[in-house]
Amino acid sequence: MLHSKTRWQSPAADSERISELARSLSISPLLSSLLVQRGMDTAELAQVFMDGGAEDRHDPFLLKGMAEAVPRIQKALQEEEHILVYGDYDADGVSSTALMIYLLRHLGASFDIYIPHRSNEGYGLHNHALDWAVQQGVSLVITVDTGISAYHQIAYATELGIDVIVTDHHEPPELLPEAYALINPKLPDCPYPFKGLAGVGVAYKLAEALLGSEVPEEWCEIAAIGTVADLMPLLGENRSLVRRGLSSMRNSAFPGIRALLSVGGITMNTVSAVNIAFGMAPRINASGRLDHAGRAVTLLTTEDAAEAEQFAGELDLLNKERQLVVERIVTEATAKLEERISRSGLPDIIVLADQGWNVGVVGIVASKLLERYYRPVVILDIHPETGMCKGSARSIPGLDIYAALSSCAGLMDHFGGHPAAAGMSLPQGKLEAFDAALNSYAASILTPEDFVAVTAADGEVSIADLTLQAALELERLAPFGMANPLPRFILRGAVVKETRKMGQEGKHLKLVLQQDKLTIEAVAFGKGPLAELLPDGTVVDVLAELSINEWNGSRKPQLMLQDLAVPKAQLFDLRGAADAVKQAAHIQELLRTYSGSRLGQSAAVFQNSWTTPLRDLKGMSLWVYDEAGGISAVHQPEGTRDEEGLSLLCVLDMPESPEQLEALFTAFPETENIALLHSIRDGRDRLQVPTRDHFKSLYQWIATIAASPTPEHEVLLRLSRQSALGVRMVSRMLDVFDELDFIERSGGTITFVPQPAAKSLSTSEHFVRLGKTAEMEQYFMEGSRSELQEFMLSHRLGAS
């Protein structure tokens, strides 16, 4: 049994509305259901969503402040004023700055750009940058993707004689800066109908206001990058901008974009919003995280192909370095957290800090720990000289992290953010109080249900629904991103027909799933080790996205696995493992990694004669079989709770008797998974289901060998040689003869009884027990996995 990482939720379907929409637009019920769930439940709304329409584009002068900004910029152009474009260091800020460069070049303006350094300066408009601007002769500053909160800095600019036009999209504070013009669709009195523009989207509207219909179509490529990278909703005008940008990008004239697509291994003529999110944006962001974002701006604005290739290569290397830095910090942070968990349990809010944790990537680290532990996470870098801590937080839906930080605002020098993510700085001396205050606040807000991750699915389907035509149809919903995610489907009761690892070092997983004689391939990136838990014949439930696999000119539907569950108890057949203890620990770790947050206890059972060290079985309770046919615990790990249940039972030695097998299942009646790790006995050393012919032959040989008292060990050896039966088998048969008085045992010798009283073999308890033990051993030694699973299930039900 494998638990899914998250709880899957599928919306209730309005079958009547879905059927009506499918009929009116001549589309499949699958596509129709997705449109209805996304709120496009009429033919008109659905048509616009799939194909676009004029209503997706709005007059830029509906943006409050635009009417003041445009003539001020035109005045600056006429009087040849020097303009400063002030941006931000993330992908949206980089894209916004690049777009303004293209606009000002087009207008023939005199301009400079300024982007603060993430680590050295931090976010926002800075007075020292304004001082530098004065020295450069700047009289007009245009901010992009920043500035809406820069009340004091803009007042300082005014003192310096600089006008500031703010273009931003972040939430406006109560105290707005007194800028020459504020352009932000989220301003409370802004009549602009679409509030979801990215910073680059606002910059694009400024370009529209200045150029009208003459805005080059290829500028949508820049707008698409920032919009997708900043996780803006791909609805309304954003959807139109990104769709147009992707269309242009497939034949891009920008050397920088072509080079960026190339280093990311992205096929140019099929580039998608997903490629931007996972291929282009991380490389652009790496520039601002580990170096300076100016390098990414140069890449997006260069007209030289060779320079573009150079900068794209540098960003690619920076991104690889960023990945290594993140991996190192995640490893260090996880070790710190696990140590804390071992002492005092998992906190409601995880707060971790250390020196050398690059402040540019701590947000990514927080996201990765949140994914693993499903708790709000705060990761901070401690400056080695000043002791100042700077960090980022990521939260779960049940906790507004901005509200949590607000509850202990007095402990921080600075903080900001929104319900899901935030940033903060505070002295190292206040870290302990900060941690305690956050967890105290969380304890009053969070419930056990909040710690169970939920994933929204788009419906339950069968393999019959997942055709190539269906996959092609889903493309009509693209571009996919925030507020319009890639559709995810639940497929239940599929049988694994084939499992294999693929990629370097078997990092990835490929399955062939079958349902009602139909099959489909499924791929899961980064889940190669999961193959060991999914032998052929396993019945699984999966959460997956439908895609198209193109190879050698052929196209077929393919699932991209997002989550997986095995709803029934599993038997892992590892009989004869070279190192049973190591394998047990390995299976335990696999289950911990791939079975969500609901993993219970683990146990290992073995015979009293076990000599191999068991120190590798950390966190397992250890049990031994006893001679009386029972089973007893010899070690229980600290913190074990009975209510957790048993997720894994590792059988290091098989039971020696039916009584021991029954005791095993009595002790562990609800085991989710059983791993058989016992050794395989040599054929002659195995018991056989006894027959009358076995006993008849043996009786005749005993008459010859033990006519007079003979040492029992000698009888055993001679009978074993003559009968081709193992010594264990012969010994058990002698127990039967002894019970029936066909032989006499005395002082270590055996004597044949020539004329015993007639008795049936079936009256012997040893004979019946030998039959049951031999049958059990046959299953444990020779049975197939499915035979063993059925045998053990029947005995477990009998025991319970």
Confidence of residue 798 (pLDDT cuts 50, 70, 90): low
534, 565, 596 - which closes a domain: 565
CATH number at residue 471: 2.40.50.460
> What is the domain extent for residue 610?
570-680+782-799
Do 479 and 529 contact (CB within 8 A), yes or no? no
CATH number at residue 358: 3.10.310.30
Sorted by sequence, the CB contacts under 8 Å of residue 184 that are 6+ apart come out as 63, 64, 65, 148, 166, 167, 168, 169, 170, 172, 190, 202
If you compute the radius of gyration of the chain from its CA atoms, what whole number of angstroms results? 35
Closest CA to 786 of 574, 573, 587: 573
pLDDT at 599: 66
In a domain, 473, yes or no: yes
Domain containing residue 597: CATH number: 3.40.50
**Rounded CA gap, 453 and 462, in Å?**
25
pLDDT reported for residue 640: 57
Please tell me whether residue 470 adopts helix, strand or coil conformation.
Answer: helix
Q: What is the pLDDT of residue 641?
A: 55
- Cβ neighbours of residue 361 under 8 Å, at least 6 residues apart? 289, 290, 322, 325, 326, 329
Same-domain status, 515 and 465: yes
The phi and psi torsions of 7 (rounded to 5 degrees) equal -85, 125
Instruction: Judge whether 51 lies within some domain.
Output: no
Phi-psi region of 673 (alpha: psi -120 to 50; beta: other; left: phi over 0): beta
Q: Which helix (H) or strand (E) holds 321?
A: helix 305-344
CA–centroid distance for 169 within its chain: 30
| Average pLDDT over every residue of 742-747 | 94
Q: Could you give the percent of the chain with pLDDT greater than 90?
A: 78
Distance (Å, rounded) from C-alpha 565 to C-alpha 538?
Answer: 10
- Give the domain-ending residue among 542, 565, 588: 565
Distance in angstroms (rounded) separating the CA atoms of residues 315 and 296:
7
More confident residue, 446 or 791: 446
User: Is-contact 144 167, C-beta < 8 A?
Assistant: yes
User: Is 493 contained in some domain?
Assistant: yes
Per the prediction, the chain carries an average pLDDT of 92
Of 204, 231, 200, which is closest to residue 215 (Cα–Cα)? 204
| Whether 415 and 527 share a structural domain | no
pLDDT of residue 682: 83
Query: What's this model's pTM, rounded to 2 decimal places?
Result: 0.82
Cα 216 to Cα 99, 106, 145, 213, 273: the distances in Å are 11, 10, 21, 8, 20
Predicted confidence at residue 82, as pLDDT, reads 98
CA–CA distance, 242 with 274 (Å, rounded to integer): 11
d(CA 427, CA 122): 16
What is the residue whose two structure tokens read 């499918």?
Answer: 22
Round to whole Å and give the CA distance between 793 and 758. 39
Residue with tokens 């205050």: 437
- Residues whose CB is less than 8 angstroms from the CB of residue 319 and which lie 6 or more positions away in sequence, other chains included: 282, 283, 286
Compute the C-alpha angle 120/124/129, nearest 5°: 70
Q: What share of the chain has pLDDT > 70, as a percent?
A: 98
The reported pLDDT for the residue numbered 301 is 98
Q: Is residue 487 a contact partner of residue 458, using CB atoms and an 8 Å limit?
A: yes
Considering the domain architecture, whether residues 448 and 461 belong to the same structural domain is answered as no
Indicate if the pLDDT at residue 609 is higher than 60: yes
Residue 334 belongs to some domain of the structure: no
Mean pLDDT of 718-737: 92
In 3D space, the residue among 728, 727, 749 whose CA is nearest the CA of residue 738 turns out to be 749
With cut-offs at 50, 70 and 90, classify the pLDDT of residue 598.
low
797: Cβ contacts below 8 Å, ≥ 6 apart: none
Is the pLDDT score of 73 beyond 90? yes
Tell me: pLDDT of 53 over 90: no
What average pLDDT does range 472-495 have in this prediction? 94
Q: What is the average per-residue pLDDT within 447-461?
A: 92
Per-residue pLDDT of 39-49, as tens digits, reads: 999 999 999 89
Domain boundary residue among 565, 582, 599? 565
Question: What local confidence, expressed as pLDDT, does residue 305 receive?
Answer: 97
Greater pLDDT, 789 or 131: 131
**What does the alpha-carbon distance between residue 22 and residue 24 come to, in Å, rounded to a whole number?**
6
* Mean predicted confidence (pLDDT) in 91-120: 96
118 shares its domain with 220: yes
- pLDDT at 663 exceeding the cut of 80: yes
Asked whether residue 758 falls in the same domain as residue 789, the answer is no
Please answer whether residues 509 and 476 qualify as being in contact, where contact means their C-beta atoms are separated by less than 8 angstroms: no
355: amino acid identity, one letter:
Q
pLDDT at 597: 58
Write the single-letter amino acid at 100: M
ω into 216 cis (within 30 of 0): no
How, if at all, do strands 518-524 and 508-515 pair? antiparallel
Same-domain status, 442 and 511: no
Task: Assess if residue 774 is contained within a domain.
Answer: no
In what helix (H) or strand (E) does residue 295 lie, and over which residues does it extend?
Answer: helix 294-301
Residue pointed to by tokens 């029954």? 662
**pLDDT per residue as tens digits for the range 677-691:** 999 988 888 898 888
Task: Please state the φ and ψ torsions of residue 278, each to the nearest 5 degrees.
Answer: -110, -10
704 occurs within a structural domain: yes
Cα 422 to chain centroid, rounded: 22
AA identity, residue 214: E
Residues 630, 789: Cα–Cα separation, whole Å: 22
* Same domain, residue pair 119 and 222: yes
Q: Which two tokens stand for residue 254?
A: 């920008």
| pLDDT at residue number 639 | 60
pLDDT digit string (tens) for 295-310? Answer: 999 999 999 999 999 9
What CATH number does the domain containing 699 carry?
A: 1.10.10
**For the chain, how long is the longest CA-to-CA vector?**
130
Whether residue 313 sits in one domain with residue 171: yes
- Half-sphere exposure at residue 341, Cβ-oriented, CA atoms within 13 angstroms: 12
**Do 306 and 401 belong together in one domain?**
no
Q: Tell me the mean pLDDT in the region 429-451.
A: 95
CATH number of the domain encompassing residue 312: 3.90.1640.30
Instruction: Measure the CA–CA gap between 377 and 368, rounded to whole angstroms.
Output: 9
Neighbours of 352 (CB within 10 A): 23
So what's the pLDDT on residue 596?
Answer: 65
How would you classify residue 765: left for phi > 0, otherwise alpha for psi between -120 and 50, otherwise beta? alpha
Whether the per-residue pLDDT at 375 is higher than 90: the answer is yes
Query: Which candidate, 87, 161, 95, 97, places its Cα nearest to that of 126?
Result: 87
CA–CA dist 750, 748 (Å, integer) = 7
Confidence of residue 618 (pLDDT cuts 50, 70, 90): confident
CA separation for the pair 429, 426 (Å, rounded) = 8
Return left, alpha or beta for 502; rule: phi > 0 is left, psi -120 to 50 is alpha, else beta: beta
- Tens digits of residue pLDDT in 210-259: 999 999 999 999 999 999 999 899 999 999 999 999 999 999 999 999 99
Average pLDDT over residues 158-180: 95
Structure confidence at residue 612 as a pLDDT band (50, 70, 90): low
What pLDDT band is residue 86 in, cutting at 50, 70 and 90? very high
Beta-strand pair 601-606/539-551: unpaired
Q: How far apart are CA 210 and CA 231, in angstroms?
A: 27
**DSSP state for residue 277 in the 8-state scheme:** I
Indicate if 261 and 136 belong to the same structural domain: yes
pLDDT of the residue at 136: 97
Same domain assignment for residues 467 and 615: no
Same domain, 644 and 701: no
Q: Is residue 113 part of a domain?
A: yes
End-to-end CA distance of the chain: 19
Question: What whole-number distance in Å separates Cα of residue 545 and Cα of residue 559?
Answer: 6
Q: What average pLDDT does this structure show over 190-202?
A: 97
Least confident of 242-251, 458-467, 628-637, 715-724: 628-637
User: Which range (1-15, 262-276, 519-533) has the least confidence?
Assistant: 1-15
Segment 507-550, tens digit of pLDDT:
999 999 999 999 999 999 999 999 999 999 999 999 999 999 98
Number of domains in the chain: 5
At 416-437, the pLDDT tens digits run: 778 888 889 999 999 999 999 9
| Per-position b or e across 250-267, b if 16+ CB within 10 A of its CB | eebebbbbbbbbebbebe
C-alpha span between 540 and 518 (Å, rounded): 15
Average pLDDT over residues 50-77: 92
- Which residue matches tokens 């290594």? 324
User: Would you list the DSSP string of 559-594?
Assistant: EEEEEEEB-S-EEEE-TT-SSHHHHHHHHHHHHHHH
Q: Does the residue 142 lie in any domain?
A: yes
Q: Tell me the H-state helices in 401-481.
A: 401-406, 431-445, 468-474
Coil vs helix vs strand at 253: coil
